[in-house]
A and B are shown apart, each in its own frame.
Chain A
Amino acid sequence: MKEIVIISGKGGTGKTSVTSSFALLAGKNAIIADCDVDAADMHILMQPDYEIKEDFYSGELAVINPETCTQCGICADICRFDAISIINNKHVVEPLSCEGCGYCARVCPVNAIKNIDLKVGQYFISNIKTGTKMVHAKLGIGADNSGKLVANVKNEAKKLALKLNKEFILIDGSPGVGCPVTSSLSGAHFVVLVTEPTLSALHDLKRVYVLVKKFNIKAACIINKWDINTAVSSEIKDFLKKEGILHIADLNYDEAFTKAMIQGKAIVEIEDSEVGKILKESWETIKKNIS
């Protein structure tokens, strides 16, 4: 069983469109994991049935009991997140600032502070239109710990892949280089970098590749909308060559991507699509390189 992660550094370069195409091409051989839990979009193209829904708890939130609190102020003094303020002469916790470290509860002399478990979101296991299962999630509003929710989505996907004896796990990652991306990369066998020929995307690609190297994972790259700026496309190719990243495809700028999306389809489901054809070849290349 091989884990393939699709990331980009910069957002909006086409990660989800590419992942959904690979999901169609892999069909029943793959479990799909949407690890972009902040802004999950795979469900729009995969027709999930939300067979299993589970709440996900991670982290804590301090709550002060006004009955027992003596307003001594020790909690506010030690809190490094300025999360405890005085409103109407009473100490209260500002939930959006509290990072759930639990320090205040430990030092409160009258045990007036409790930590409650925080529901940070929900995750789902669905049957999808390709005849397999997808694990996906919805992060709660303003929730911390998206990295842990990502790790959870991945774990569930891994369990399913082992149980159902699947060849691949296809993981749609999130933008950036922080905790959700680190969680998606950990344990992966192959990374597909989806980029576009803009200076922003190249800049972000270079940064995220530093992270990929730390994990020592084999990487390949797809340049989406390569014809928007062929000069920057060449710059990207130079970078790929220098770093030994496999360049698997150039995709034309094609508004058919969006048209397919509006119909709830991946681009490979559109007949005679040039980009669809290239993605089919790309999937074959990835399979060859992964084994």
Chain B
Amino acid sequence: MKIAIASGKGGTGKTTVSTNIASYLAETEKVVLVDLDVEEPNSKLFIKADLYNKEDKFKMIPQWNQNLCTLCGICQEVCNYNSVIQAGNTIMVFSELCHSCYACSELCPTEALPMIPVKMGELTHYKNNNLDFIESRLEIGQELAVPLIAQTIDYVNNLFTDDFIKLYDSPPGTSCPVIEVTKDADFVILVTEPTPFGLNDLKLAIETMQELQKQFGVIINRDGLGDAEVENYCIKNKIPIIAKIPNSKEIAHYYSRGMLIYKQVSEFKEQMEKVKRYIINSMRGVLK
């Protein structure tokens, strides 16, 4: 069972929901929490667990071999990302733009652009009883999050069978990194807030999920802060509202200190219980 926690708008509470529901579920189930917001991962701030494994993640890029190169220009011509540029009698490779398609390397008639690995980020795996926690972080200056997300999902799927509950903490937005995370999920939890910005970005996220033909439900965070438009929109469009987390300075304070909230605030725990039931019921539906 794979569940992505996504949002459209940033800062609506994806990480709050991911870390709390993962820990709460892990009291009774086998859970893997994966922080796939590789540009700005911060689930680790909330999870206390022991280091189990750490590995560098690489992407392949071409490296110019001056001695073999005839400056025929094919590499520059076949690169659709402007990451291989011929400048005078030099070939320059811009690794941060390279998508590792291998076209320049394999179409080079003199094998002057062999592919070599460059580090794009780090994966760290922690364990705490029933909970496995994995995060990846992109090296600053690397622009492409997708290859690191893809390799992290591969790592998780190689290690854990689908009877684990796998929770993917997704990056914000609706573009390629979010697609990479959600396309592998059985269903998606969209976390939003009851404000005009929250509603606008929720609609974008919903369009994306419909395009991907994903099942999804909504959690309204900071309920009571703004207006009722988000809730009205969900009801009108028959979108399940899985839980409503109250707007509370107390919750904000525990969050600010990197603490798990369900252990401190009973109203919050009640909402996590709703999310848990929703997940377990969906899981039965999926496994049937």
Contact = CB atoms under 8 A, between A and B. Distances in A.
Interface of A: 9-13, 16, 38-39, 41, 44, 59-60, 78, 80-81, 96, 99-103, 106-107, 139, 141-144, 146-147, 174-180, 182, 196-200, 203-204, 207-208, 210-211, 214, 225, 228-229, 232, 253, 255, 258, 261-262, 264
Contacts of B249: 228, 253
5 contacts: A59-B80, A142-B211, A176-B172, A180-B175, A262-B226
A39 B177 contact: no
Most buried by B among A106, A178, A203, A210: A178
B195 A176 contact: no
Nearest to A208: B40
A141 B100 CA distance: 24
Contacts of B257: 199, 229, 232
Interface in B26-46: 39-40, 42, 45
A196 B143 CA distance: 25
Contact of A141 (B12, B45, B207): B207
A121 to B, nearest CB: 10
A13 B11 contact: yes
Nearest to A107: B107
Contact of B140 (A197, A200, A210): A210
B197 A198 contact: no
A222 to B, nearest CB: 15
Nearest to B99: A99
B45 A200 contact: yes
B15 A200 contact: yes
- By Cβ-Cβ distance, the 7 closest A-B pairs, closest first, are A11-B10, A12-B11, A38-B173, A101-B101, A176-B39, A229-B256, A103-B103
Contacts of B195: 258, 261-262
Nearest to A179: B143
Nearest to A199: B258
B141 interface: yes
A255 B177 CA distance: 32
Interface residues of B, number: 56
A139 B99 contact: no
A50 to B, nearest CB: 15
B211 A175 contact: no
B225 interface: yes
Contacts of A144: 175-176
A9 B8 CA distance: 15
A101 B227 CA distance: 45
Most buried by A among B142, B175, B226: B175
Contacts of A39: 8-10, 172-174, 200-201, 204
B86 interface: no
B242 to A, nearest CB: 20
A10 B225 contact: no
Given A141-B208, A198-B255, A211-B140, A176 B101 contact: no
Interface string B120-131: 000000000000
Contacts of B92: none
Given A142-B176, A232-B257, A103 B208 contact: no
B81 interface: yes
Given A39-B8, A142-B211, A261-B195, 12 more contacts: A38-B204, A41-B200, A101-B81, A103-B107, A106-B103, A139-B175, A178-B142, A179-B143, A199-B42, A253-B252, A258-B195, A262-B196
B35 to A, nearest CB: 11
Contact of B103 (A11, A102, A139): A102
Contacts of B272: none
Nearest to A259: B226
A262 B201 contact: no
Nearest to A263: B196
Given A12-B12, A78-B102, A102 B42 contact: no
A175 B172 contact: yes
B140 A143 contact: no
Contact of A175 (B10, B144, B174): B10
A207 B42 CA distance: 11
B133 to A, nearest CB: 16
B253 interface: yes
A228 B9 CA distance: 21
Contacts of A100: 80
Interface string B133-150: 000001011111100000
B103 A178 contact: no
Nearest to A146: B175
A166 to B, nearest CB: 26
B139 to A, nearest CB: 10
A100 B39 CA distance: 23
A103 B174 contact: no
Contacts of A9: 40
Contact of B174 (A60, A139, A197): A139
B227 to A, nearest CB: 5
Nearest to A147: B143
A98 B133 CA distance: 30
